[in-house]
Amino acid sequence: MVFRHVRLAVLALIVVGLLAFLFVPPFHNLVVDRATSAFTTIRKAVHPNIESVHPTGASASTSIAGHLPGLAIDNGSNTYWAALAKDRAPELTVNFGGPVDLAQIGFTSGASGAAPADHFVNQPRPKQVHLVFSNGTTKDLTLSDEGTAKFYPISANHVTFVQIHIMSTYLPEGASPSSVAITEVEFKTQN
């Protein structure tokens, strides 16, 4: 007899909940919002969406003629930014059009192009970088010495710019000091 009352009470609660879901908009919205939030949290953990974030501009502490800061964010594989050889603390600042959440940063280090001086191994490449984000967070990275894009995990939310401070470089063997170069800096967000 008790179990029958419990079953009827549970059934009544289900029917009332279903009717409230169908005919009470605030309750319907609350249920849908919570279910969507739970589903999104699980989806992000199991299968995150990684999307590119496109910067809107770049500036630098110095640059050499023909290799301006904007060339580090132009998606070109045959252009690059290069700092002046006398710049002992080169810095590249990348700006975004509004606040973005960053999950990865990618570097294609070194020079690129058709001229002999533009070959990857002929110019210094960033080795250690110190990232400073507009939200106050920082991250230190040691970059691999490769001529292809390499991505590194970061976590920086609601940022409008990133300052990339080049702390050390990979030098070409027997080379005199010359311009440190970056072909491309890329950013990704995780949704």
Q: What whole-number distance in Å separates Cα of residue 55 and Cα of residue 145? A: 24
- Asked whether residue 75 falls in the same domain as residue 134, the answer is yes
Query: Is residue 136 over pLDDT 80?
Result: yes
- Asked whether residue 23 falls in the same domain as residue 71, the answer is no
- Asked whether residue 171 falls in the same domain as residue 114, the answer is yes
Other residues' Cβ atoms within 10 Å of the Cβ of residue 104? 17
Share of the chain above pLDDT 70, in %: 97
Q: Return the CATH number at 133.
A: 2.60.120.260
**Comparison of pLDDT for 118 and 55, the residue scoring more:** 55
- Asked whether residue 167 falls in the same domain as residue 99, the answer is yes
What does the pLDDT average to over 130-154? 96
**Comparison of pLDDT for 142 and 124, the residue scoring more:** 142
- Asked whether residue 10 falls in the same domain as residue 79, the answer is no
- Asked whether residue 68 falls in the same domain as residue 136, the answer is yes
Q: Is 183 within 8 Å of 75 (Cβ atoms)?
A: no
Find the domain containing 32 and state its range: 2-46
pLDDT at 32: 86
Q: Which amino acid is at 86?
A: K
**Comparison of pLDDT for 118 and 103, the residue scoring more:** 103
- Asked whether residue 31 falls in the same domain as residue 80, the answer is no
- Asked whether residue 156 falls in the same domain as residue 104, the answer is yes
- Asked whether residue 65 falls in the same domain as residue 121, the answer is yes
Give the chain's domain count: 2
- Which residue among 46, 63, 80 closes a domain? 46
Q: Measure Cα distances from 157 to 35, 104, 122, 153 in Å.
A: 24, 11, 36, 13
- Asked whether residue 102 falls in the same domain as residue 178, the answer is yes
Q: What whole-number distance in Å separates Cα of residue 39 and Cα of residue 47? A: 11
Q: What global pTM score does this model have?
A: 0.78
Cα–Cα nearest to 93, from 111, 78, 81: 81
pLDDT at 92: 98
- Asked whether residue 12 falls in the same domain as residue 96, the answer is no
- Asked whether residue 110 falls in the same domain as residue 34, the answer is no
For the segment 40-96, what is each residue's pLDDT rounded down to a tens digit? 788 777 778 889 999 999 999 999 999 999 999 999 989 999 999 899 999 999 999
Average model confidence (pLDDT) across the chain = 90
- Range in 33-37, 87-91, 138-142, 155-159 the model is least confident about: 33-37
